[in-house]
Amino acid sequence: MPIHDWTRVPDGTFHHFHATWIPLISSALNHGILPAGYYAMAEQIAGGFEPDVLTLQAIESVDDDLERDERGGTAIAVRPPKVSIQARLEQSLYAHKANRIVIRHRSRDRVVALVEIVSAGNKSSQRDFEAFVEKAASAIYDGIHVSLVDLHPPTSRDPQGVHGAIWSDLGDNTYKAPTNKPLTLAANVGKPDFSAFVEPLAAGDVLPALPVFLNPYRYVEVPLEESYMQAVAEIPDRARAPLEPC
Span 140-184, pLDDT tens digits: 988 899 999 999 999 999 999 999 999 999 888 889 989 999 999
CB 36 within 8 A of CB 61: yes
Nearest to 21 by CA among 226, 244, 208: 226
Secondary structure tally for the chain: helices H, strands E: 6, 10
Determine the residue type at 113. A
Print the SS3 string covering 108-157: CCEEEEEEEECCHHHHCCHHHHHHHHHHHHHHHHCCCEEEEEECCCCCCC
Averaged pLDDT for residues 54-82: 71
pLDDT at 29: 92
**What percent of the chain lies above the pLDDT cut of 90?**
54
Report DSSP state, residue 194: -
Over residues 94-104, the pLDDT tens digits come to 544 544 445 45
Distance of alpha carbon 214 from alpha carbon 223, whole angstroms: 16
pLDDT at 120: 86
pLDDT at 101: 47
pTM of the model as a whole? 0.88
CB 112 within 8 A of CB 142: no
Distance of alpha carbon 191 from alpha carbon 145, whole angstroms: 8
- CA neighbours closer than 13 Å in the CB half-sphere of residue 85: 19
Q: What is the dihedral of CA 209, 230, 114, 64, to 10 degrees?
A: -70
Distance between start and end Cα atoms, the chain: 16
Arithmetic mean of pLDDT over the chain = 86
pLDDT at 96: 46
Nearest to 12 by CA among 124, 135, 139, 177: 124
Over residues 119-145, the pLDDT tens digits come to 888 888 899 899 889 889 988 988 899
Alpha helices in 178-223 (DSSP H): none
Determine how many CB atoms are found less than 10 A away from the CB of residue 164: 23
